[in-house]
């Protein structure tokens, strides 16, 4: 039996209900951590449908496919599948990609091929070589050029500004060496970027930044495009509004005259400035979007009040007006602990001891524990200690599954089958095999892609003097157009011997990823869909956690990958002086410092019951200059318990019990 909307509304608190039943034009919902923003979006969609709005007239935009899909599924589960039929949840990129494909007369880009970040690097490498030296002596790689170009597009800023942010670590433009470096190098960068754009046009390529830019430009300059698209929707619901960059914001503003915007976000969780995200999209919402209002969600369902008290205090020290005081539904709980260590091995050992205690002595699960760090490298010593103590774990963050070299290798033949004119995919696939370098690969490509269709292309390839596995793999996959998961299995079976040679000692742990990849592919109906939706999406993060949610393991995660996650017990590593904020952030000014503060806030608010912050023992007493910026200087005693563990670490670089995996991890570090 399908539920009535009143059943859903009855589960809301007063703040949530006020937002859901909003009858004005546009609304920004400032939803603090753990205040039920997803529930509010779901209830808003259900409310609109209950008011007679067709589900097809509602668009839900989120930043990950997983999140968008979950929102739609939960609406259907709570409200009834038939009554929610036609409701769409998409990412900004997939939405724009579908618009371009569905409306070739309005967005005339024809049969294009998508470039991912790796492909972009290959293009820039082709245009300027492996490295470029600027007039001021700075060495620039193709990946640096991709960063500059992408940031300029997404932040809607000048080339000079993008160069300042990406090449000069966001240093002040007033510094003479920065100003002169940018001025002298800008003509060279401009020339290369012009060549890159021309190269894309010549080969019918577009990149993921182009997807948004094409639609945004169409909506702002072409009345026909704006009228056609905006008339399809009455309501647009946006999740994680604080993560929008100026280009995405430009897209939303184009709909403000024709649609109702319902945007949910938290300015205190804006931590993607390096991608162009701008938390000012929230602070300036009412001034940019006419006829808009703001409401707040402050009742937290996740954490205990002592955890929120520390988190609230952290924001209150900011010169920015976050105006955020979260209140816990569950008021009681333990004070957060600040634990001091003499070295990183002592820190790692104490964390893993506490994890074992929670499982062995307290009857909890490994999955009730989450370790958070600034970077994936900051997790390595904890990872090594987990291995030594036989604690099951998974790493969340760092290089995404789809960005891993071995995954991209196996995906390359599917890219060819999806579009046999994709020269970059051909180049990657062919050079995997022995005896084929860049020149030989180029000659093969020139011979085969001139054919009129895929079958004739593969027939010609089979007639060349090549290893039989090269054409055989592609032929087999071409017969599995609607079975992407089976195609992955076939590619792996045919290529495994060669891949094992390429990755040698790493193969045993790398090949585990392919089970995840096959599970991901099951959600798509064709190889073309799999390639477009997953392989070429640079923002996708898929880990073992997603595919093995039933497995009981500790989560080791970067803070940036922890958004949306929560755990009963959280451990935050190295919350020390010159880490929060970093020296670089201090040098780069208030905006950089405040993003660091928001990073720590996100980490703290992942904890439900217990929070442990680890810092260098030397952070207890800091000099005046450092104390001015250090976030945890002079934390009120009433908010935390300070702990200095006795004794030295029981786990050290020399004590890995002969575990080769642990030794490999340790060898990555300079311990001097």
Q: How far is residue 393's CA from residue 351's CA, in Å, rounded to a whole number? A: 13
In tens, the pLDDT along 318-334 reads 888 787 889 999 878 99
pLDDT of 345 > 50? The answer is: yes
pLDDT at 213: 86
Lowest mean pLDDT among 106-110, 254-258, 500-504: 106-110
Average per-residue pLDDT in the chain?
A: 83
Question: Higher confidence at residue 413 or residue 551?
Answer: 413
Q: Which two tokens stand for residue 401?
A: 């599954």
Assign 255 a pLDDT band (cuts: 50, 70, 90): confident
Across 81-106, average pLDDT: 83
Strand bridging mode 554-558 / 260-265: unpaired
pLDDT of 563 > 90? The answer is: no
Q: How far is residue 138's CA from residue 370's CA, in Å, rounded to a whole number? A: 39
Distances (CA, A) of 282 to 5, 244, 267, 278: 29, 9, 6, 8
DSSP state letters, 53-101:
--GGGEEEEESSHHHHHHHHHHHHHHH-TTTTTT-EEEEHHHHHHHHHH
* Angle subtended at Cα 463 by Cα 459 and Cα 469, rounded to the nearest 5 degrees: 85
pLDDT of 348 > 80? The answer is: yes
Question: Higher confidence at residue 511 or residue 655?
Answer: 511
In tens, the pLDDT along 238-247 reads 998 888 888 8
With beta carbons less than 8 A apart as the criterion, state whether 363 and 638 touch: no
Distances (CA, A) of 323 to 40, 270, 298, 561, 636: 21, 15, 11, 25, 20
Assign 433 a pLDDT band (cuts: 50, 70, 90): very high
Q: What is the pTM of this model?
A: 0.76
Main-chain dihedrals φ then ψ at residue 608, nearest 5 degrees: -95, -50
pLDDT at 6: 52
């Amino acid at each position: 039996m399908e539920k009535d909307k009143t059943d859903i509304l009855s589960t809301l608190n007063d703040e949530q209900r006020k937002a859901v039943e909003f009858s004005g034009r546009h609304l920004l919902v400032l939803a603090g951590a753990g205040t039920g923003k997803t529930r509010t979006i779901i209830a808003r969609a259900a409310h609109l449908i209950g008011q007679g709005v067709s589900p097809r007239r509602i668009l839900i935009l989120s930043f990950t496919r997983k999140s968008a899909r979950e929102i739609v599924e939960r609406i259907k589960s709570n409200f009834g599948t038939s009554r929610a039929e036609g409701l769409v949840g998409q990412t900004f990129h997939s939405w724009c990609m579908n618009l371009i494909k569905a409306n070739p007369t309005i967005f005339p880009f024809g049969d294009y091929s998508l470039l991912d970040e790796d492909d972009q690097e290959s293009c820039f490498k082709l245009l300027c070589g492996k490295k470029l030296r600027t007039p001021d002596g700075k060495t620039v790689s193709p990946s640096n050029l991709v960063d500059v170009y992408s940031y300029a597009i997404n932040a809607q800023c000048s080339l000079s500004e993008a160069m300042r942010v990406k090449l000069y670590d966001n240093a002040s433009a007033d510094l003479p060496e920065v100003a002169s470096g940018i001025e002298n190098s800008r003509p060279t960068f401009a020339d290369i970027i012009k060549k890159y754009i021309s190269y894309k046009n010549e080969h019918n390529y577009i990149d993921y930044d182009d997807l948004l830019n094409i639609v945004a430009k169409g909506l702002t300059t072409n009345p026909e495009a704006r009228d056609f698209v905006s008339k399809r929707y009455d309501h647009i619901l946006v999740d994680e509004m604080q993560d929008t960059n100026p280009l995405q914001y430009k897209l939303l503003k184009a709909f403000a005259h024709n649609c109702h915007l319902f945007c949910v976000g938290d300015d205190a969780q804006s931590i993607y400035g390096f991608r162009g995200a701008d938390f000012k999209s929230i602070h300036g919402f009412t001034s940019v979007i006419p006829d808009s209002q703001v409401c707040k969600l402050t009742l937290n369902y996740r954490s205990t009040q002592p955890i929120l008290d520390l988190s609230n205090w952290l924001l209150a020290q900011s010169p920015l007006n976050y105006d955020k005081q979260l209140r816990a539904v569950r008021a009681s709980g333990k004070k957060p602990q600040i634990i001091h260590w003499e070295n990183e091995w002592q820190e790692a050992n104490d964390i893993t001891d506490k994890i074992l205690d929670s499982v062995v002595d307290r009857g909890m699960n490994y999955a009730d524990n989450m370790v958070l760090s600034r970077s994936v490298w900051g997790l390595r010593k904890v990872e090594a200690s987990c291995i030594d103590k036989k604690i099951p774990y998974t790493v969340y963050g760092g290089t995404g599954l789809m960005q891993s070299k071995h995954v991209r290798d196996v995906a390359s033949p599917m890219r060819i089958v999806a579009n046999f004119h994709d020269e970059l995919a051909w180049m990657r696939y062919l050079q995997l095999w022995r005896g084929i370098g860049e020149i030989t690969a180029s000659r093969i490509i020139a011979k085969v892609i001139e054919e009129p269709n895929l079958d004739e292309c593969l027939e010609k390839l089979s007639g060349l003097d090549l290893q039989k596995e090269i054409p055989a793999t592609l032929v087999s996959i071409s017969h599995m157009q609607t079975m992407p998961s089976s195609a992955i299995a076939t590619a792996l079976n045919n290529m495994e011997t060669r891949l094992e040679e390429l990755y040698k000692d790493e193969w045993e742990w790398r090949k585990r990823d392919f089970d995840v990849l096959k599970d991901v592919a099951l959600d798509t109906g064709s190889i073309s869909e799999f390639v477009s939706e997953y392989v070429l999406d640079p923002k996708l993060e898929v880990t073992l956690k997603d595919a093995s949610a039933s497995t009981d393991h500790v989560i080791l995660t970067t803070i940036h990958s922890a958004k949306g996650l929560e755990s009963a017990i959280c451990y935050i590593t190295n919350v020390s002086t010159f880490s929060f904020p970093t020296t670089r952030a201090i040098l780069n000014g208030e905006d950089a410092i405040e993003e660091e503060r928001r990073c720590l806030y996100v980490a703290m608010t992942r904890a439900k019951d217990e929070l442990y912050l680890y810092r260098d023992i030397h952070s207890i007493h800091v000099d005046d200059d450092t104390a001015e910026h250090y976030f945890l200087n002079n934390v009120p005693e009433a908010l935390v318990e300070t702990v200095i563990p006795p004794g030295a670490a029981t786990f050290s670089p020399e004590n890995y019990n002969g575990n080769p995996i642990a030794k490999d991890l340790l060898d990555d570090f300079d311990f001097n």
